[in-house]
Structures are given as C-alpha cells and as structure tokens.
Chains A and B, each alone.
Chain A
Amino acid sequence: MTGFADHLMIAPVVLPMFAGATMLALGGEQRRNVNAMLNVAATFALVVIAIALLRTADAAPTGVAGVYRLGDWPAPFGIVLVVDRLAAVMLLLTSFLAAAAIVFSLARWHRAGVLFHPLFQFLLMGINGAFLTGDLFNLFVFFEVMLAASYGMALHGSGPARVKAGLQYIVVNLAASLLFLIGVSLIYGVSGTLNMADLAARIPAMHTGDRALLEAGAGVLGIAFLVKAGMWPLGFWLPATYAAAAPPVASIFAILTKVGVYIVLRLYLLLFGDGAGASAQFGGEWILLGGFATVAFGAIGSLASQDMTRLAGFSVLVSSGTVLAAIGMGQVGVTGGALFYLVSSTLGLGAFFLLIELVERGREPGADVLAVTREAYGEVDDLEDSNEVGIAIPATMAILGVAFIGCALVISGLPPLSGFIAKFALLTAALNPPTGAVPNANWAMLPVLILSGLAALIAMTRAGIRAFWASPDRSVPRVRLIEVVPVGALLLLCAIQTIEAGPIMRFMQATAQSLHAPHDYVSGVLGPAAERPKSLMGPT
C-alpha cells in the first residue's frame, strides 16, 4: 500500500474531486477558459488512468487488480475500493464518453449555463466511485454525489422544458434514494455488515427467518437501482429527461443508466450467485422479465417517437433492458456477451446524442412533428422542388450522414459494426448453454433481440430520411470540427471494438467468469482467511 501503482486505484475518485474543487476555488464562472482546460486535462488523465487500471486488472491472475483500504483498516471494518475487471472496464467506458462529451461541449454548450465544468467533474467522481466501491453505504454516498451533480447537469441551459423534466427527474430519484436507504438498513439490520464481500460470505449460512428479511432488503435495494437503470415500469421518467437535457449532458447520461445496470450485475451475481445457498438466483426471473418488458417498451416507444432525442431516449431503455434480461439468465456466456453489448451500445448512444444536436441544428423546431403530420395526411411535401434534380449534398451533411449511419448500425445491431457482434455473441451464448437443453427464457431472447433491432432500424431509418433527405426548407448547419471529432472518435471506438472483437470478447468472458465465481473477489477483499467463523452473524 505504498507504491504509486497502489494509489492509482483511488485516483479516479480523487482526481475529479480535486479538479472540481479547484475550479470552484478559482472562481467558477469568471475563469471559464481555465476551468475548461482543467476539465479537459482531468478527463483525459482519467482515460489514461482507466487504461492503466484495466491493464493491471487484466494481468492479475484473479482479475482483481487490487483492493484499496482507506486508512489501512482491514476489510469488514474499514472502507474499501476494489478494482476488478468489471470496474476497470466501466471506468474506461465512462472516461471515453466523458472525454467525447467535454470536447463537444467546448464548442458552445459549456456557455449555456453556470458551473458546467465543476459539475461535470463531480458527476465523474460519483460515477467512478460507484464503480469502485466495495461497500454498500459508500455506494449510497457516491450514488448521491453522482445524482446531485446530475440534477445540476440535467438543468444545464435552463428553459421550461428542462426545468419540467428536471423536476420530475429529481423527485423520482429522491424517492429511489430513500428506497436505497431502506434496503441498505434492512440488510445491515439482518446481516450486521455493509461490506459487499463480507455480505456474500455470510449469506450462505444465514438462518431461514433472517433470510426472508435479507431478501426483502435486497429487493427494495434492487428497485432503487432498477429505477436508475430505467427498467419498465420504473423508467417512464427517462425519455423525457434525456430528451430535454443538453446534448453533451445527455451523452454522459448514457452511462448513468449503466451505473444502475452495473450495480444490479455486481450485487446479483455476488450476493445471489450459485454459492448463495438457499438464496441462489433470488429475483433472477424478475430481472429477466423486467428486462424483456423494458426492451418491448423501448422498442415500441422508439417507433412512436416523433423526434430524434426521444428516439435516443427510448434506445437507452432498449439497451439497458437487453443487458438486464441477459443478467437475469444467469449464465456465464450470456453475461460475457451482455458486457460486450453494454460497451458497444453505450458508445453508440453517446455518439448518437451528440450527433442529434448537430443534425437538428439546421432545422426549424418541430420539423419532425410537421413531417409526421404530413405523412399521416398523405401530403407530398415537395412537388415544386422536383425540378431541382442534381444538387450535390453539402460536405457537412455528408459527414453527418455517414456518422448517422454508423450510429444506426451500432444501435440496431447490424453488421459490420460492434452492435452486430454483441447481439450475435448474446444469441450464440443463449442458444448454446453448457447444460445442453435450451431453456424457454433463452428462446425468448431470440425474438426479443431481433425484433428490437428491427424496430430500432425502422425508427432510425425514418428519422434519417426525414433529417437528411426529405426536408425541403433546411439550411446546412454550421458545424465546427471539435463537434464532429468526438462523434467520430466514439464511432471509431465501436469500429475498434469490431476489429479487435476476439481479444475484447475473451476479456469480457473472463470478466463474466470471475463475476459468476466471486470467490477471488471475496478473498481479495477479506484477505486469504475468507473462511470466517460462522458464529459471527451480526447483532442479535
């Protein structure tokens, strides 16, 4: 616990905190340019740190890069941060999205409201902390840091639409936080510990009476995370909030639902995996069915949405629903595919949220609604313009169009980009279970994935036709280079994920293996003497 490499583990939390605090100390709004430079520097430093942590975690034989004990107190008594493969990959994904969003915002959006840069860093601090923590109550604290910053970010730019959506977003999340507290305190009351690894070690030996209370606590806790993940019927707030948020904010919000998904994945497999005795697979069927319902709701919603921001909001729901359903199946191969899908779809959605604003910039507000009305009444919109054949598409529109096609391919899961490989991996794993017989739930995954992909494709094609071909009265949007580059970079990451699919998939499968057999995680946190006396069963 002395070397530089050890302290790198806490850097993803400490660095944004100091960066954000420095920006506030420098005087917030008066020095916006200094703050912007600090923000960019800190965010790109996070990318480097996340890559370093990922390499360490991958090189470690157990997949746990290290356990950071704050104040060097041993695990169940002190607070720990744990870097394993899953945490490292989520950190890297966050830092990529954050880097793209911050560069994009420099063009104009960071001037739309106050304190964008400090809030951005505090948001990153909360997200990174939630990924790293090995302790339920610290998870609550980091979750609240993340939410408090996200309230400010959701309202960035102000205006009636944002304030209305932000108000509802805040109420829903405050209520969910209270459920979170109820769940945490129930679990503490029954088990006497808040450390996740310690909890996992204690659950198999729990009495029947206590077990019911523990499962109730875990259920309440799960609802709090599923609200954040946007599972049907808990996610009605999501499309409105994401559609109203400023584009760079919506882009970084694409990772917020994944924080909920991440915690469900982590806690479900850690606490209620195969080793949990009578509680094994508790709640799995609910996550599975909820995931399917979310995908269906998201797909129908994206078909029905009349503008692109709402379409993107519903695509977020489809993405988190797919991952939830895959988690609910509880099979190693499916989880590995789901992790690949999670990375790919989050990058694609992040790029899409940024791209929408560029495409919409040249159009009058409400153009999409008018287009839908025209379609509904069968009106042909540009009869007079039909003699203008042969006008070349401006270069800006061509670039935006190519980026749009890239986003559509990733989100709907068509070849050749990473979305296809992700869905293919999910389906292959679901239809080839190690036990031989294919359960009904796995068969259900086939139509759900393919139909949701088809719905996404139809919705994206329709939106694309309206935005790029069929609007007679549009001007070419003024787009700056630093706005296109982040979109391109995110799509390039998807392309890299496609080309390097073999190594990345092996990494994801290794991650899934260690998630499904959390023995290394538990002994890594609690020390080698993980076999603790079973009589220590909390306050009685």
Chain B
Amino acid sequence: MEMLSGGDMLIRALHDEGVDLIFGYPGGAALHIYDAIFNQDKVEHILVRHEQAATHAADGYARSTGKPGVVLVTSGPGATNAITGIATAYMDSIPMVVISGQVTRDSIGSDAFQETDMIGVSRPIVKHSFMVQNAEDIPAIVKQAFHIATTGRPGPVVIDIPKDVTDPGETFPYAYPESIKIRSYAPPTKGHSGQIKKAVEILMSARRPVLYTGGGVVLGDGSELLKQLARALGFPITNTLMGLGAYPATDPQFLGMLGMHGTYEANMAMSEADVILAVGARFDDRVTNSDVSKFCPNATILHVDIDPASISKTVTAHVPIVGPVVPVLEEMLEQVKASKIKIDAEALAAWWKKIDHWRERDSLGVTPAEGEMIKPQQVIQALYKVTNGEAYVTSDVGQHQMFAAQYYHFDLPRRWINSGGLGTMGFGLPAAMGVQLAFPDAIVACVTGEGSIQMNIQELATCKQCALPIKIVNLNNEALGMVKQWQDMQYSGRYSQSTYADSLPDFVALAEAYGHVGVRIEKMSELESKMKEAFAMKDRLVFIDVAVDPNEHVYPMAIRNGAMSEMFLSKTERT
C-alpha cells in the first residue's frame, strides 16, 4: 500500500473524491497541507484575499455546478473568518467541505497561538464536523464529510486538522474508501407512496391551486420534472427567492417571485388559493410574513421536502411528504397522468381569469424618472437585455438583490446565485469568482450596491490574479438602500447610520488600481450603450458603477404582520 503523510493524504483524498478546485488562504497550522498542495498538480488552489471570500467562492461554485465547494483555511482567525460563509451555506443548504488547520494535538486547550475551538464555534452552523485525531483516519473522514455534505438536505461540513496530524515526516498507508456507510445517518431516498397518492387526489380536485416551489428544487435538480408537472396540471406557479430559475420565468404559467417583495399576482394567488403544493420550500418568514395565522388560511397545504424538520415547522402541512424532489415529483407526475380525477377545467379557467386580472395591475411596472436619472430597476432591465437573459447573476444583499430577483427573468436553474437565508452582504463578488472559475466562458454578472461591494472589495485582487472577467454592476445610490427604505417606512425617515455619500470611493479609480476596467454611468440615455460596451470586454473584469435614483424603494412590499394579500405597491398605494 502507498505510504503518504497526513498532508499528502488529505490532498490525495480530495482528488480521489473528484475535487479539482479549492479556495483558501494559508497560515501556520495549515502549512504542511499547503506544502502538500505545492507538490502536486491535480487539485488547483485559488488564493483569495480573505477567508470569508474563500467560503463564498466555494459556495458560488457549488450553487452553479451542483458539486460541493471546498475551502482550506488555517486555525484561529482563518477559521473564524470562514464562519460567515459557512453560516451562509448552512442557511441555504449548500454542499460545502471546509478544512481548517488546528494547533497541534498536545497544545489544544492551552490557548496556543492562533487557537480557536473551530468545532465548537462552527457547531450551530454546520451539518456535521470532524476533528481528525489520527492521520490514518483522514481518507475515511474525507469520504464521510463529502457524503454528509452532498446527500439528504445538503450543508457545510467542517474537518478540523491539528498541524501535527499533517506532519510530512510521518507516513501512513493510504487507500481511499470506495463507499461509506454511516449507521446513524440515512437520508430519505423516496417519498411515501400513500402520501403522494393523497396529495395528487387533493391537487387534481383543486379549484384555485398554486405551486409554490423553492431552493430545494434547484438543489435537488428537479427543475425538469417540475416543468413537466406544472405543464401537465396547467396550474399557476410561483418561486421563492431561492427557487428562481427552477421554473422558467418567461413561461406564461409563472407568476413571478412570491413573498415580501413578490409580485402582486403571486401573493394574491397564494392568499386566495384552496390548495398549495409546496416543493423544496420552507415557509420562511420572508414568504409567510411574521404572523403565520394569517398565511393562506383557506388553503390545504401539500408539502414536499427532504428535511422532515422543515415540514410543519411554521405552517402546518395537511399532507407532508418527506423525500428527495426527483423521485417524489416523478411519482407525482405518473399519478397525475394516470389519475381518474379530471381537473375542473371551468374552475381552473376562472382561476386563471382572476390571476390575469391581478397581472393587469403590473406590480413591477417601472415609471422612468424625469430627465437622465436612472432607476435601479432599469439597470437590471438593461442587464437582462444586454446579456440576453443568459448570464449567471450573483448578488449581494439589499435593494439591488430584490431588483435583480424581480427584473432578471431566470429561465434556468443555478443561474441566480444569492444569499437568501442568511442575507450576507459581501457574498456577491466572491460567489461570482466561484461561478466564473467553474464556467470560464460564461457571462457572470455580480449585481451589487456600493454598500455590499465594500464588504469584500479586496477580492478584486483575486480576480486579477486569476484573470476572471466578471462584470460588476454596482447600483450606486450612495446609501444602504434597504436600511434607508425601512427607515423611510418605519422610522419617519430618520437615516440612522445608513448614509455615507461624502466618503464613497471613486469606484472607477479603485477598479483601475486593482488592474481592472472601471466604467461610470450617470445618464439614462447612456445606460444600455455603456453596459453593452462593458459586456463586450470579454476578457476583462469591468466594474460598472451606475448612479441610480437614491430615493427608490423596492415594491411590492409586504405589510408587516399582514396577510399575503396585504402589500404596499408604491410609496402611495397599498392593497
């Protein structure tokens, strides 16, 4: 059997697991591992400029490819810097393996230099974690970590490795396990047929049905089946923020996103539905609003999810179905096709008529500003046009994120990359790096704001080093727009700590300082042409800084503690 050191074993195990790209940052406790990386060429390492960015980049890679993202950081501050990215991945169920260096085994617990209890610190935000006690265990632990991260409801797994375990001076027999069985871990592999039958009967008898689907459909690669099911039924469908792209946004059956900033028609349809089929969605508070007792009180809820704990957590499911999206939808589709119950065509036509009436309200209509002022929505509309709707779009968090979700019509899954659950500012740029590395020839746009982009701006250097031609679309309203919107709506316009117009950097000069191209757009008449020019620079990162209306709000917006039907539609209108 081949003899390898702990460090070599780790990198070899990653390769044997099919990993070809990892994101990280070196430091003392990880140096043996970094030396092992130096001595091989199968696993490529991307050097970021901050460990948080390594996790977001791995996350963007995972979301766009469906493969697990891999991160390598050192102990102490390296590990704690990775925490925000691990939490981001945890909230959105992203498969990720984070390897952190640790101080030597005999100094653990002694408050050694750069020592942090990573297992303890990360415990509430990981699916599982491993502390490697012996180098011989490395292959089995790596195998288990990837198995846990990628199966069932995916999530991040931490492997903490003391420095002496990776010592190049000691070697051990290496063999990568072909398969692994963990007796205490058995994620569901199919749904309960009886429950599926019951759900299909209710679905076929519905008069005002809605399909409400979320990120689980994207993660479980169920988009194709979802399309088939929706078309077989002819029912209206809405996606959550995380589910965008799982169903083509340009399809006539699509009502748009639902929830806090969902379309009028999507939220009204939910509110008046008699049957809701939820698939891979978790009735999150951005969908249900804070008072769940008002949430769709007349609807029978059919809930498909791989995680039993997501079912009946906030909204009670009448028919719970625990299982992976693909086998469950397959079985549903079969039963729908074979069902003796005929869908009430008259009721469905009346339902669609009602929905079309809601659609006429045009809740995402944009009123252009007077003169040359650019509305932020118009930037996303221009982006959609310039990229033919084919870009991978990452976003940060705030108004720009909602505008991107509302106005970029995603027809394919894994194209919309955003931090939905944790809402992590600083996610967009590093996530775009992961996407661009996975798809070097694709158009990758990072829609951001001047607040969020400054949270991981240092990654412009990584983009330079790796020659990543990302297009950064900065909706620059010179303020923390979403905070300001809430302050307008709930704090009588007292802008506590949400403005900084006097101290914003010159983003064009900043981009140039990092060796990239910077473009500033201030006039509506130049928006599309300058965006086109920027996107025509195929081999360069272009930082497109767009001055937008600083007073714009995101609408529709759910009214706090209200029902799904209660929304502000503009600064002056509400339902």
A and B associate:
no
Chain A interface residues (CB < 8 Å from chain B): none
